[in-house]
């Protein structure tokens, strides 16, 4: 499968064409803003006009850019792309965006006689971080997207393009578990703080987006009754909270291990070296066998980049 670069800004056309060079041709897709607001937090809603992503349908920016691409001999326009947000729990926003994308494809056909063969509807499919939370039904999404695509293209007199989606979060999220070691347990008035050896450096999502996880004790069985606790990280700010007001065994103590399920997506990819806390190791586990994929980051890794004053 050949790669098609995503074009997000008209200024990128000249740069891509220059990189291709004389006699070359690069396949590209245009990222479109369909004007659909969807997502679990305002910071991850990317399908509206007030965002930095894509080219507008409303002001004609998308169609104008498409016209310019079709006039550039070093670029080959293969289709359209959109991504309306993340942690989306309903199918409807995708259907609204799909209808608008089909409408643009029809206008391109009418204006230029070009039928685009590909349509990428992005990802952002919600997963349940805690029991009882809503997740997007991918089977329903696939079925309804396909029906809407076939019906919409038939109404517009278009052949059905190859439809792509990007289910990264839905696939990787539930496959990952974060393990933390308890460092201290602190009682402050009626609050119980369980401090662990990680925090917002390896998972900034609770601080950024208010994501709520459900950590649990692993590695030993506890007969103690549950109590409400807040799991915090080791960093120097009050916002370093991994899970607020969760139920944990009353005898959680230093040295215990806490597992945070559904931690595979958009976590380590956002990790930093805040407070010089190294990023954790990554281990693959399959059928009872563990294999180290990425070693733990050390202080020496940070020092190796220092070149002196």
The phi, psi pair for 159, rounded to 5°, reads -70, 150
Q: Per residue, what are the HEC states of the chain?
A: CCCCEEECCCCHHHHHHHHHCCCCCEEEEEEEECCCCCCCCHHHECCCCCCCCCEECCCCHHHHHHHHHHCCCCEEEEEEECCCECCECCCHHHHHHHHHHHHHHHHHHHHHCCCCCEEEEEECECCCCCCCCCCCCHHHHHHHHHHHHHHHHHHHCCCCCEEEEECHHHHHHHHCCEEEEEEEEEEECCEEEEEECCCCCCCCHHHHHCCCCCCEEECCCCCCCEEEEEEECCCCCCCCEEEEEEEEECCCCCCCEEEECCCCCCCHHHCCCHHHCCCCCEEEEECCEEEEEECCCCHHHHHCCCCCC
Residue 153 among the catalytic residues: no
Q: Which residues of the chain are under the pLDDT cut of 50?
A: 1
Stated pTM of the model: 0.91
Q: What pLDDT, in 10s, does the model give residues 169-212?
A: 999 999 999 999 999 999 999 999 999 999 999 999 999 999 99
Domains of the chain and CATH, by start: 5-172 (3.20.20.10), 176-275 (2.40.37.10)
| Annotated active-site residue in 82, 153, 236, 266 | 236
Q: What is the pLDDT of residue 3?
A: 62
pLDDT computed for residue 97 by the predictor? 97
Q: How far apart are CA 228 and CA 185, in angstroms?
A: 12
246 Cβ neighbours under 8 A, 6+ residues apart: 213, 214, 215, 228, 229, 230, 231
Q: What is the pLDDT of residue 1?
A: 40
Interval 218-264: pLDDT, tens: 999 999 999 999 999 999 999 999 999 999 999 999 999 999 999 99
CA distance 272 to 200: 8
């Amino acid at each position: 499968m050949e790669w098609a670069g995503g074009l997000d800004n008209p200024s990128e056309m000249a740069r891509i064409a220059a990189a291709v060079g004389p006699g070359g041709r690069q396949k590209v897709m245009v990222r479109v803003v369909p004007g659909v607001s969807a997502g679990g937090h305002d910071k991850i809603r990317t399908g509206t006009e007030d965002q930095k992503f894509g080219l507008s349908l409303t002001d004609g920016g998308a169609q104008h850019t498409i016209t310019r691409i079709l006039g550039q001999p070093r670029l080959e326009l293969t289709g359209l792309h959109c991504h309306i947000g993340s942690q989306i729990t309903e199918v409807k926003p995708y259907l609204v965006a799909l209808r608008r994308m089909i409408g643009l494809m029809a206008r391109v056909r009418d204006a230029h006689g070009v039928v685009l063969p590909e349509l990428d509807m992005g990802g952002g499919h919600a997963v349940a971080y805690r029991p009882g939370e809503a997740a997007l039904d991918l089977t329903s999404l696939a079925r309804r997207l396909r029906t809407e695509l076939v019906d919409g293209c038939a109404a517009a007199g278009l052949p059905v393009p190859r439809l792509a989606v990007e289910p990264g979060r839905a696939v990787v999220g539930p496959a990952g578990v974060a393990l933390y070691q308890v460092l201290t347990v602190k009682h402050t008035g009626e609050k119980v703080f369980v401090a662990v050896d990680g925090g917002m450096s390896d998972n900034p999502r609770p601080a950024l987006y208010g994501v709520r996880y459900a950590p649990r004790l692993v590695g030993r069985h506890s007969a103690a009754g549950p109590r409400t606790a807040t799991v915090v990280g080791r960093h120097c700010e009050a916002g370093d909270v991994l899970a607020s007001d969760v139920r944990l065994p009353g005898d959680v103590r230093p040295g215990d291990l806490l597992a945070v399920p559904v931690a595979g997506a958009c976590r380590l990819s956002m990790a930093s070296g805040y407070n010089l806390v190294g990023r954790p190791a990554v281990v693959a586990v399959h059928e009872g066998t563990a294999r180290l994929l990425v070693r733990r980051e050390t202080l020496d890794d940070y020092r190796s980049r220092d070149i002196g004053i």
